[in-house]
Amino acid sequence: MGLSLRQLRYFVATAEYGQISHAAVNLSISQSAVTAAIKDLELTVGVSLFNRTPQGMELTTAGRQFLSHAYEILAKVDEATHLNLVSSDIEGELVVAATYTVIGYFLPLHIERIRRLYPKLKIQLYEVNRESIEEGLLTNRYDISVLLTSNILNPMLTTETLLSSVRRLWLPAGHDLQRRDGIGLREIAEEPYIMLTVDEAAHSSLRYWSRGPYQPKVLLRTSSIEAVRSMVANGLGVAILSDMVHRPWSLEGRRIETVNIQDPVPPMDVGLAWRANVEFSQPMLAFRRYFQQAYSLPGTNS
């Protein structure tokens, strides 16, 4: 029996959601189809990928190792089937600025693809904060940026959102809120809260906390996403963060669950920004068109 892409996708979804029922909903298929695919996959690779527990599906050591391979395989397939870009002789230099979250959780794979598509294009990449990016774009220090476009308010900049990553409540495995329906900010405000501060995350949280009468009981403010992950996984608090930065396991190997939030919480928008009315160079056009095709955005002649 051969390994299939369908099995890999079902396996990854189950690993990320921790429950077959949640994976099935996300995949819009039946639970039995997910169960059968995982069983067939385990027979193919010859090891158990999950421990079945009352709380859900926990990856085994072999499962965690296999997950990294599955991510890599699916990324390569996505590249081959969805990016109909043809390598060109575009050359020159492109100066790109990006924020911490984008550098850590979004951009590296895309930079690697762009470099293979345009081997003569030299990309200089800088990690800086949003204020420095805005100033650098306006003074031509940077050609283009990749950042959280939901944080950009400067009318002298043009933005193009590539994706909107849903924010959900992060919980340790087995937390009481997992078993309750209709979780909102009222219930979250009763829990110790881990507040992320990097990339203006604390400021962004005010957009939804300030709308109502509830405030989080902040146990820790930290600029480290890994610290948030570890604190939540070890049962020290909860957090509200986006799916883009979520990983199902902490560095200690403990699970982080996510649940939907009933109250309106805006997503984290990721995209491009450049100086308004700037004349696009060929490297800038190539960079922008790559992302437009990667995220199925309309083309442009800008």
- Final residue of a domain: which of 82, 104, 121? 82
pLDDT at residue number 38:
95
Above 70 in pLDDT, residue 300?
no
- Final residue of a domain: which of 29, 63, 82? 82
User: Binning pLDDT at 50, 70 and 90, where does residue 1 land?
Assistant: low
Above 80 in pLDDT, residue 173?
yes
Lowest-confidence range among 54-63, 209-218, 256-265? Answer: 54-63
Please indicate, yes or no, whether residues 253 and 184 belong to a single structural domain of this protein: yes
pLDDT digits (tens, 9 = 90+) for 229-267: 999 999 999 999 998 898 888 888 888 988 889 999 999
Domain contains 284 = yes
Residues 24, 21: Cα–Cα separation, whole Å: 5
pLDDT digits (tens, 9 = 90+) for 86-136: 556 789 999 999 999 999 999 998 999 899 889 999 999 999 999 999 999
Domain contains 44 = yes
Please indicate, yes or no, whether residues 77 and 107 belong to a single structural domain of this protein: no
Domain contains 251 = yes
User: Binning pLDDT at 50, 70 and 90, where does residue 52 land?
Assistant: confident
Higher per-residue pLDDT: 279 or 85: 279
Please indicate, yes or no, whether residues 283 and 142 belong to a single structural domain of this protein: yes
Joined tokens for residue 198 = 């990097």
Q: What is the mean pLDDT of the chain?
A: 89
Domain contains 125 = yes
Please indicate, yes or no, whether residues 224 and 78 belong to a single structural domain of this protein: no
Domain contains 119 = yes
Domain contains 301 = no
Please indicate, yes or no, whether residues 241 and 281 belong to a single structural domain of this protein: no
Please indicate, yes or no, whether residues 182 and 58 belong to a single structural domain of this protein: no
Domain contains 300 = no
Find, among 253, 84, 93, the residue nearest to 172 by Cα: 253
Please indicate, yes or no, whether residues 73 and 108 belong to a single structural domain of this protein: no
- With tokens 């996708």, the residue in question is 9
Range of the domain at 100: 92-164+268-294
Provide the domain count of the chain. 3
Q: What letter represents residue 240's amino acid?
A: I
Higher per-residue pLDDT: 230 or 178: 230
pLDDT at residue number 93:
97
Residues 13, 23: Cα–Cα separation, whole Å: 5
Please indicate, yes or no, whether residues 144 and 14 belong to a single structural domain of this protein: no
- Final residue of a domain: which of 82, 107, 139? 82
Please indicate, yes or no, whether residues 276 and 156 belong to a single structural domain of this protein: yes
Q: What letter represents residue 245's amino acid?
A: V
Query: What is the crossing angle of helices 5-17 and 20-27, to 10°?
Result: 120
Has this prediction a pTM greater than 0.85?
no
